[in-house]
Amino acid sequence: MNFDARIDAVLRRMASDGIDLLIACSDGLQMPDRPDPVVHLSGYRSLGESFVLLHRDGTAKLIVSPAADAERAVAWRGPHACIATDDLVGALTRELADRKTIAGCIAVVGIDVLPHLLAEQLLAIPEGAAVRSFDDALYGTNGRKTAAEIDRK
């Protein structure tokens, strides 16, 4: 499976589950025994906490912290637009407001690794939206590494 096929599989699962937005979360710690959903959906290994926003229409945005990671994030040239910030919740709030996604069904993956306060703030953002876990579905859909990920070591 290549990276595009991975995203397509996730998008199909989102559509079948009625999910309008998937928010993947990372704490920035690269642990060999624990998958990182942000890396899984973007290929980017952030220095701090980060999110990937994957919309049902296939558009995506990577939000990384700290803001000092901006130069590396811009040079990365991944498949998604990218924002580097020291205010993850503020950037996420602005992105959701711009897309008016808040009223739809939102799924979250990897929230359990975030610091408690950041997780609370994330869950408080989508007022009136249904928020549910997508962890099992994400890795059940396509848990294997791509050939490029294996080559990268």
Q: Residue 80 corresponds to which tokens in the numbers above?
A: 């998604």
Mean per-residue pLDDT of the chain = 82
Give me 6's structure tokens. Answer: 């991975």
d(CA 83, CA 71): 10
Decide which of 92 and 151 is more confident. 92
- Sequence-ordered alpha helix ranges (H) in 17-134: 37-42, 70-76, 88-99, 116-124
pLDDT at 102: 53
Is there a contact between 79 and 108 (Cβ–Cβ < 8 Å)?
no
Do 84 and 67 contact (CB within 8 A), yes or no? yes
pLDDT value at residue 150:
47
Average pLDDT over residues 7-31: 90
Task: Kindly report, residue by residue over 50-100, the tens digit of the pLDDT.
Answer: 999 999 999 999 999 999 988 888 787 666 788 999 999 899 888 888 666
Q: Tell me if the bond preceding 32 is cis, omega within 30° of 0.
A: no
> Which pLDDT score is estimated for 97?
80
**Higher local confidence (pLDDT), 122 or 64:** 64
Q: Can you say how many angstroms the Cα of residue 78 is from the centroid of all Cα atoms in its chain?
A: 13
